Structure formats: structure tokens, C-alpha cells
Amino acid sequence: MPKVGGATPPEWAPAPRETMSQSAPAPATNYRWVVCALLFFATTINYIDRQILALIKPILDEQLHWTNEQFGMVNGAFQGAYALGLLVFGWFVDRFGTKIGYAVSIAAWSVAAIGHALVYSISGFLFARVALGLGEGGNFPSAIKAVALWFPKRERATATAIFNSGTNVGAIIAPLIVPAVALSLGWHWAFICAGLAGFLWLFLWFPFYNVPEKIKAANAAELDHIASDRDDTSRDGEKVSWLSLLGYRQTWAFVLAKGLTDPVWWFFLTWLPDFFKQTRHLDIKTSGPMLATIYGVATVLSIGAGVVVGRLVKSGWTVTRARKTAMFTSALCVVPIILVKDVGDWTAVLLIGLACAAHQAWSANLFTTASDMFPKRAVASVVGLGGMAGSGLGIFFPVLAGRLLDTFKAQDNVSAGYALLFSICAGAYIATFILQHLLAPKFEMVELKA
């Protein structure tokens, strides 16, 4: 018989309070959203840096006396270098890991940004733009791989939408800050301040980022949450070759989707200010708030779309169904842009804002399909290949658009030229959605050959 003394409690007695508290599982931390914030700020800096030259062009025109064709060549050099940078950093990040890869990328583009302040010739700016493009090419391969490492599939669309909204935030901030800095301190300081912002980000990146298992602030519950739908066990830093990836139709589904829709975004960034000037007769002071509104609308709606996709997956939808529904809806939301020619100024702003938001929602979901279909060791390489396709074709679309607009301008009907270009943009996403669906009916993990 068991003893009934005070030193031995009966079997039915409740456990001591400290034992009960020790057995209760701790709530999951949310450190992954700190990582997402780092990615967002890096992407914002990325887009501020690349817009500075266009924003201070009126000042440089007086010093360089360059033609529009020469200015176009300088920007084309950036696009070509950016395409190459995406490809190179895709491999580099997969080979050496996200922490090192992202750091090298932002250090390179920050040095290049400051380098703009040291040149005084067209050839000097061309060289600086090439350096900037090569460095900035590492942003998206690094960010997408970080999301794949830190987020379960059901949260990746939301995380990607948040960090990708940095492109819009950068597009909003740059026109508000860069001209003020250039006019008050000199155009050189616009580039210097942007470069210093990149180095400030580096001081945050090294202490606050690593793979989940090495971050003490992420507890076991959060690590379990991150790995809850993991279907590959590859480690950050493992190798994969580009050539082997090109043998999979899923790679082409991503690459072609980027190649056929990214040029639309580059068209918006390059030609929207001119659209308002040529067809609405608005100067930059008047069109500035309109451009800010466009990118503001794009930011809010694209993040909202990412949240909706995450909730659909949590509610039981398959990843494929949720992603494809979001992408098809995004494709449809671009179509109304064909009406821009026939509406008022602010209605046009809202239609263009909807199209930009649709592109960003499309882009966020498209980015996540890379991590849906490929092991983490291949994600950055796949993103790099797709980004190279998008930027490569993005070199030619704005140039072709310029020639088309010149043709219509000679006929005193530039509005018709823009109407034709907007019609091309309107149909690009639906056509691409169909092509991608044929290549990848389901977003399922590919088993890479050794």
C-alpha cells in the first residue's frame, strides 16, 4: 500500500503550478516578420536608387547636353546589366547562402549609387548604371529565397506581397525626396544619400538575419510553424546548375511568365510621366501627385491580394488553386486599362493604379510559385533566370514603345499610340496565364535529379 504521509501526495493530487506552466507550450514567436521587414526596406532602397537618374534628368540635361537617345542608351545599359545581375546572383545566392548573397548585392549597388556622384560624362553615367544594375540584380533572388526559408507556403504570398510592395513605396518616396535633396544640396548628394541608406541596412542585416535554426529569437514553436508544410530538406548554400534547371517545364513556366509580363511594369515606370505630359498636357509638378497615387493604390491592393491568398490556403484551398485564382483575377484587373484614353485624368489614374496593383499581385504570386515548385537550393537560381528574361525583354519594350510613339506623334496622334500600347499591356497577362497553365497545371514540388 502506498504511504499516506504528508511527504507523499495522493495520486489524484494536481501537479505543482511550476510543473504545469513548464508543460504548457510556449506561443510561437513572430521573428519571421522581422525578416520580412528587412526585405521590404531593402527593396524600397533598391527602387529609390534606380529612379534617381530619371528624376534629376532636367538638372543633368543642362550639364551633359545629352539627347533622348543617349539617355535611353544609358537606361538600356542598366536594364541589360540588371538582367545579367539577376542570373549571376541567382547562382551566387544558391551557392553561398542568402545572408552573404544579399549583403554582397546591396553593398555592390550602394557603392555604385555613390559612384554616380563622381562622374560628369555620359560614358561615366553609363558605367555607373551598369554597376548599379549588376548589384541590384541580387535583390529579388535573395529576398525570394529568404521567404522560402522563413515562411510556410500558406504565408509566402503575404510575405512576398509585403516585401514586393517596397517597389511601390520606393516609387512613391523617390519623387518626394530626391528632387528636394538635389535642389537643396546638389544632385550629387541624392546619389550619396541613397548609397548610405544601403550601408545602414547592412548594419541591420548581419545581426538580425540568418537561417531560422540559428536565430535565438525564433522559438521552437515558430520553427515548427515554418516547417509545417515543408516538403524538401535542402540547406541554404547547396549548389544547383542553371543548365539542369532548364530541363524542367516548371522552370519555363516561371521564366516565360516573367519574360512576358515584367516588360509591362518597366513600361509603366518608364513612360507614365510622359503619358501624362503628352496626352494630358500635365507638367511634372501636377502629375507627381498622380504618380504617387498610382503607386499608393498599387501598394495597398497588392498587399491585400497577398493576404487573401494566404487566407484561402489556410481555409483549405490547395496552393495551386489559390495561386491560380489570384493570378487569373490579377490578369483580368489589367484589362480595363484599355479605357484610359477615353476617361478623365483621375479616372485614368485609378485605372492605371488598378493595373499596377494587378501586376504587383501577379508578380508576388508568380514569385512564390518558384518556391512552390522548386527545392530551396534551386529557388534563387530559378528566380534569377526568370528575372533575366523579364529584364532582358524589358530592355526592348520601352525602346520599341518609344519608336511607336514617335511614329504616332509624327501623325499628331500620340494618344492613339498610347492606346495601342495599353491594349498590348491589357492582353499580356491573360495570354501569359494560359501559357503558364499549359506548362505547369499544378504548382507541385519538382524532384531535382542529383
In the numeric block, which cell numbers belong to residue 377? 537550393
Task: Give the model confidence (pLDDT) of 62-72 as tens digits.
Answer: 888 876 677 77
Pick the CATH number of 32-209+237-439 from 1.20.1260.10, 1.20.1250.20, 1.50.10.20, 1.10.357.10: 1.20.1250.20
**DSSP for 44-106, written as a single string:** HHHHHHHHHHHHTHHHHHHHH---HHHHHHHHHHHHHHHHHHHHHHHHHHHHH-HHHHHHHHH
- Poorest-confidence range of 90-94, 117-121, 377-381? 377-381
Give the predicted TM-score (pTM) of the model.
0.72
**DSSP for 304-339, written as a single string:** HHHHHHHHHHHTT--HHHHHHHHHHHHHHHHGGGGG
- Poorest-confidence range of 13-22, 358-367, 398-407, 412-421? 13-22
Q: pLDDT grade, residue 450 (50/70/90)?
A: low
Task: Give the model confidence (pLDDT) of 296-331 as tens digits.
Answer: 888 788 778 878 888 888 888 988 899 999 999 999
Task: Give the model confidence (pLDDT) of 5-27 as tens digits.
Answer: 444 444 333 444 344 445 566 78
Residue 15: its pLDDT value, please?
43
Element (H, E) at 268: helix 249-280
Residue 231: its pLDDT value, please?
55
Extents of the domains making up the chain: 32-209+237-439
